Amino acid sequence: MAESAGVQTFTAKEGWSALRGQWADRLSEAELAALDEATAFAVEWHGGQTRPAGEPYLEHLLEATRVLVEAIGITDVDVLRAAVLHDVVEDTACTLDEVRDRFGARVATLVDWVTKPPRPEGWTREQSRAAYLTRLQDAPADAILIKLADRLSNVQRLDTHPKPEKRGAYYNETIRAILPFATRHAWFHKWFDTWRAEFRHLDSTNTLAP
């Protein structure tokens, strides 16, 4: 973790092995072994995928998991495995049945809640995305925690996104659709409030923004 202009950031450049060692006093060896399996599965499916700013995809998955472990204190290994796997169905050819067969029904259910479904025929991208975010309102608490950690990882360095128009749209979507979920959790509420203020220059609806 690091502090950057007031916003606490979570990195995972050191990789899973380093995080595993850091969490040895938080999680049992059996729980860490379960995360070994989930991480290997994610690496297998995400392969050489990278994020928009060019970092390996695994870094994002581990950043989200690090938020849950180090900021929220989550030790429920099913929630942590679902965090590692939260994009595997949405962004690879892996199916939800494969996640269920390998990691059990609870992990698969959590992954399903945070997975954007294929766009229905005739729908715009915006309509499909809005439906996904609306559906999240009925998600169980553990799925919301994963979604908040996922979004935190995505926006903590939003200025590095290579498309300026995406920065503004994603900032505004986060304010509109994700911050209401953050109000349910004191730590996330505080973090996103700080982030909102620091990144307000990206607010495309604010005519006073530089």
| Active-site residue list | 90-91
Instruction: Please enumerate in sequence order all residues whose Cβ is within 8 A of that of 3, keeping only pairs 6 or more positions apart, or say none.
Output: 9
Pair 163, 202: CB distance under 8 Å: no
How many Cα neighbours within 13 Å face the side chain of 188?
Answer: 26
Query: By the 8 A CB rule, do 104 and 77 touch?
Result: no
Backbone dihedral region of 41: left (phi > 0), alpha (psi from -120 to 50 degrees) or beta?
alpha
CB-neighbour burial class of residue 174 (10 A; exposed 0-12, middle 13-18, buried 19+)? buried
Could you tell me which of 110, 116, 67 has the C-alpha nearest to residue 91? Answer: 116
Phi, psi of 15 (to 5 degrees): 90, 175
Instruction: Using only the alpha carbons of the chain, give its radius of gyration.
Output: 17
